[in-house]
Structure formats: C-alpha cells, structure tokens
Amino acid sequence: MKKVLFPLFVFLPVTAFAAANNVGSCGLGSKVFEGQQGVAPQVLAVTTNGTFGNQTFGITSGTLGCSQDGVVTSAWKTAMFIDGNKAQLARDAASGQGETLDALAALLKIDARDKAAFVSLTKARHAEIFASVDSADSIATQLKAALQSDSRLAKYAEAV
C-alpha cells in the first residue's frame, strides 16, 4: 500500500545540492577508485606525507567552496559525506550493515526506532539508489526519492 504512495518523485528537482548549488565549486566528484600505483610514487611520496586529497581544507583558510576555515558548511555535510563514501555506502547498503550506513543515518538524524526501516529501505531499493555509484548527485537524488516514497521515513527526506 505505502510503497506506491509517491512513485514518481524521481522527476522532481529534489537534490539539495545539485539544483541549489554549484556542485563544481564544492570539490565534489571525488573518484571512486584512487590509489598509489607503481613503485616510484610509493618510494618517493613518503618523504612528504603530502597527500592533499579531496575534502582537505586549510585551517583559517576562510570560505572556500563549501567549507569555512576547515570545516564543511552545514548545508553541505550530507552531500560531502555521500560524495566521499559512495562506494562504501553502496556496499554497506547492499549488505544491510556497516559504518558508513550508520554515519549516514546519524547525519539524517534518523531515530533509533526508524533505523531498521532505513536499513531495509536502502537494501530493498539498492538498485535505484545506487544506479550510478560514481555520482554523489544521483545517489542523493535517488535516496531522497526513496525516503519520500516511504510513509515512515518520508520525514527524513528533507535532510538529504
């Protein structure tokens, strides 16, 4: 009954961070696969520890993209989290447990009594939510739609 309440939300411009903000300025779009390849970088990189990757901000650097002085601006916290954990989230959601799934539930302020429903939802709707694992934007859009279509969890959709 409830599963067909809001079947077509996918078409609404619902993402908190694609429509309203300029994604590019935020440094979103981290690669799903990145690693140290080859021997030379391994030998040499160690002398500096200078891995300046995504989501690393200078302290007292002021406002840059979606960070302010080294912390993520609150409106962007969920978006940045999803972007930084795309593959891990997809895995945790598929297996119905895991640290990133717990952290996402905490970010969305999901009540302890709704947690099991949230986990079941991300598992049952895995194929749509993670249709494009390399796009944080797509994951958020689909997650929001999935939440909205669930009468119990719809109240958390705003937080995505």
Interface ranges with another protein (CB under 8 A): 31-37, 39-62, 68-72, 74, 77, 80-81, 84-85, 87-88, 90-91, 93-97, 99-100, 102-103, 105-107, 123-124, 126-127, 130, 133-134
Task: Judge whether 50 and 40 are in contact, CB under 8 Å.
Answer: no
Least distance in angstroms from the C-beta of 110 to another protein: 10
* Residue 13 or 34 having the CB closest to another protein: 34
- For 63, the 3-state DSSP assignment is strand
Please enumerate in sequence order all residues whose Cβ is within 8 A of that of 103, keeping only pairs 6 or more positions apart, or say none: 81, 85
Least distance in angstroms from the C-beta of 13 to another protein: 25
CA-to-CA distance for 27 and 55, rounded, in angstroms? Answer: 7
- Please name the amino acid found at residue 131: A
CA-to-CA distance for 93 and 84, rounded, in angstroms? Answer: 15
* Residue 13 or 40 having the CB closest to another protein: 40
- For 113, the 3-state DSSP assignment is helix
Task: Judge whether 69 and 96 are in contact, CB under 8 Å.
Answer: no
* Residues forming beta bridges with residue 72, ordered by sequence position: 67
* Residue 13 or 38 having the CB closest to another protein: 38
* Residue 1 or 43 having the CB closest to another protein: 43
Least distance in angstroms from the C-beta of 8 to another protein: 22
Least distance in angstroms from the C-beta of 78 to another protein: 10
Task: Judge whether 112 and 74 are in contact, CB under 8 Å.
Answer: no
* Residue 73 or 154 having the CB closest to another protein: 73
Least distance in angstroms from the C-beta of 68 to another protein: 7
